[in-house]
Amino acid sequence: MKPVSFYIVTDTHYLNNNLEPGGEAFEKNMITEQYFVKESGAIIRSVADRIIQDKDTDIVIIPGDLVKNGEKESHKGFLEELYRLKDNGKKVYVLTAGHDYNDSAYVLKGDGRVSVEGTDYNDLCEMYRDFGYGDAVAFDEPTHSYVAEISDGIRMLAIHCDSKEQPKGAMDNRLLDWSKEQIDKAKEDNCDIFAVCHYPVIPSVPVFDLVGEAKIKDWKTVASFLADNGVELVLTGHMHIQSINEFYTEKGNRLIDVCTSALVGSPAKYRKITVDESSVLTVKTLGIEDFEWDLNGLTPQEYFDNHFASAIIARVRGALNGGHGIVKHIKSFVRKRFDRITVRTVKRLLFIKRDKSFDSKNFAELIGEIGTGIFSGDGAHTEGTPVYNLISGILDRFSFVIKKVEPKLCKNGEKIDLRKMLLDTIGNNKGFSDNDAEFRLK
Ligand SMILES: [Fe+2]
Ligand SMILES: [Fe+2]
């Protein structure tokens, strides 16, 4: 691939504070939310400032979920920030996604929802004309997918798989055919081509293979289609997670999926990607160094991660409601003690003996840390580490449940090993980092 460098910033989920979010309903919603909403503008402004300061890279790619939930007012504010980047010499290419259009937009205010002006799906391309759509060398009307030549001899195939008219999170045969034409045309014109897609093409972590909307539908077909047609790199978002994955097709071709987290919530990263003269692709992850907000004395990273860890714990606590019969009783028993349970208690209940190094740790807190760790990439809990030992011990105790569940999770007759999937999700065994990595492209 020819030399190029660009920033990838995604899932900015901007909410314009002119809409005055707040009140009981808003605060309640934030308890289980991964990302920050009121802070989004300040975070985006700070990152835009950093990008403007970098005189070596003038391309910025944003693959979707630009605003919170399709509010017209949020698009207006977000566009102002994009025009500021443009006025400072940056070329910005956006792809819109599911959170960018909404016929019944609302903002949480007081004790409920207050309707606000939404955004029609069909208006988005015109609204973002100066940020990719206007420069398109090819445009697919039904899905808003497009191709732009972002630099001399380098084209970006922006695959919109989150449009209103098409199956959500999927590339149907028509879109595959259109993409094939664009890839062939790029080759004919002696251009290199890479792809951008809101949904991850390769599941970010093994367990996401079991989660419907965590990756594009029929991901192996799509990954093979791209790789076997000479597309080696796809940049993705949507799952708010830092991951880099490789997939090899039956023909031996490779696709690299670089999935970047939401900018406005833990782990709150963006990336600078460079391809040099020797076709070495370098992925460098950047964090939010500062933003204009009262962080109560925390660093931005602590502010993001602490909130997300609490949100995970709140979600787990929520999941302990409901159920029937014995399940309801067990859930209720655990819920009442959830905040007080230590790792030691869990081990005693499940007769797990090994590793006493963190027995006094609060179990809920540990769940929060494991969760934030998964989304930050580079899962630290590899074989032999205390958390690995604990989780594998718990999974062993529940092996009878796993055996029952596994056949139900099988797809296309492929057997799954749920225990391995879960353990590979908490520990990165890929041999390269999810954050900073290098690959030699063709
Ligand atoms: Fe998102
Ligand atoms: Fe999304």
State the distance from the centre of ligand 2 to the C-alpha of 66, rounded, in angstroms.
Answer: 9
State the distance from the centre of ligand 2 to the C-alpha of 430, rounded, in angstroms.
Answer: 25
Fold of 4-290+434-440: Purple Acid Phosphatase; chain A, domain 2 (3.60.21)
State the distance from the centre of ligand 1 to the C-alpha of 242, rounded, in angstroms.
Answer: 13
279: Cβ–Cβ under 8 A, 6 or more apart, which residues?
1, 440, 441, 442
Beta bridge partners of 60: 7, 92
Q: Hey, what amino acid is at 401?
A: V
Q: Among all chains, which residue has been given the structure tokens 């009442």?
A: 336
Query: Distance between CA 227 and CA 251 in Å, rounded?
Result: 9
State the distance from the centre of ligand 1 to the C-alpha of 132, rounded, in angstroms.
Answer: 20
State the distance from the centre of ligand 1 to the C-alpha of 125, rounded, in angstroms.
Answer: 19
Which tokens in the block code for residue 203? 């599941």
Question: What burial class does residue 230 get, using C-beta atoms within 10 Å of its C-beta: 0-12 exposed, 13-18 middle, 19+ buried?
Answer: middle
- Collapse the DSSP code of 156 into the 3-class scheme (helix H, G, I; strand E, B; otherwise coil) and give the result: strand
Which of these, 302, 273, 308, lies nearest to 34 by C-alpha position? 308
Which tokens in the block code for residue 408? 């139900």
C-beta separation of 273 from 5 below 8 A: yes
Q: In this structure, how many other beta carbons lie within 10 angstroms of the beta carbon of residue 96?
A: 30
143: Cβ–Cβ under 8 A, 6 or more apart, which residues?
159, 160, 161, 163, 165, 166, 175
Rg (CA), the chain: 22
The domain ranges of the chain are: 4-290+434-440, 300-426
Which of these, 42, 29, 83, lies nearest to 289 by C-alpha position? 42
Query: Distance between CA 315 and CA 205 in Å, rounded?
Result: 20
State the distance from the centre of ligand 2 to the C-alpha of 353, rounded, in angstroms.
Answer: 42
Residue 270's pLDDT is what? 98
- Collapse the DSSP code of 218 into the 3-class scheme (helix H, G, I; strand E, B; otherwise coil) and give the result: coil
State the distance from the centre of ligand 2 to the C-alpha of 26, rounded, in angstroms.
Answer: 20
State the distance from the centre of ligand 1 to the C-alpha of 199, rounded, in angstroms.
Answer: 9
Which tokens in the block code for residue 401? 């449940």
Ligand number nearest to the C-alpha of 169: 2
Burial 260-293 (b: 16+ CB within 10 A, else e): bbbbbbbbbbbbbbbbeeeeebebebbebeebee
Query: Distance between CA 331 and CA 341 in Å, rounded?
Result: 14
Beta bridge partners of 236: 259
Ligand number nearest to the C-alpha of 241: 1
Strands (E) across 116-209 are located at 138-140, 145-151, 154-159, 192-197
State the distance from the centre of ligand 1 to the C-alpha of 346, rounded, in angstroms.
Answer: 34
| Angle of helix 386-397 versus helix 418-426 axis, rounded to 10 | 160
Q: Is the dihedral of CA 298, 303, 309, 315 positive or negative?
A: positive
Query: Distance between CA 156 and CA 159 in Å, rounded?
Result: 9
Residue 335's pLDDT is what? 85
* Tens digit of each residue's pLDDT, the chain (442 residues): 899 999 999 999 999 999 999 999 999 999 999 999 999 999 999 999 999 999 999 999 999 999 999 999 999 999 999 999 999 999 999 999 999 999 999 999 999 999 999 999 999 999 999 999 998 999 999 999 999 999 999 999 999 999 887 888 999 999 999 999 999 999 999 999 999 999 999 999 999 999 989 999 999 999 999 999 999 999 999 999 999 999 999 999 999 999 999 999 999 999 999 999 999 999 999 999 999 999 999 999 999 999 999 999 999 989 988 888 887 888 888 888 888 899 999 899 889 887 788 899 999 999 999 999 999 999 999 999 999 999 999 999 999 889 988 888 887 778 899 999 999 999 988 999 999 999 999 8
Which of these, 233, 165, 159, 170, lies nearest to 198 by C-alpha position? 159
Which of these, 132, 15, 118, lies nearest to 66 by C-alpha position? 15
State the distance from the centre of ligand 1 to the C-alpha of 64, rounded, in angstroms.
Answer: 7
Q: Which residues surround ligand 2, an ion (CB under 5 A)?
A: 65, 97, 238
Residue 356's pLDDT is what? 84
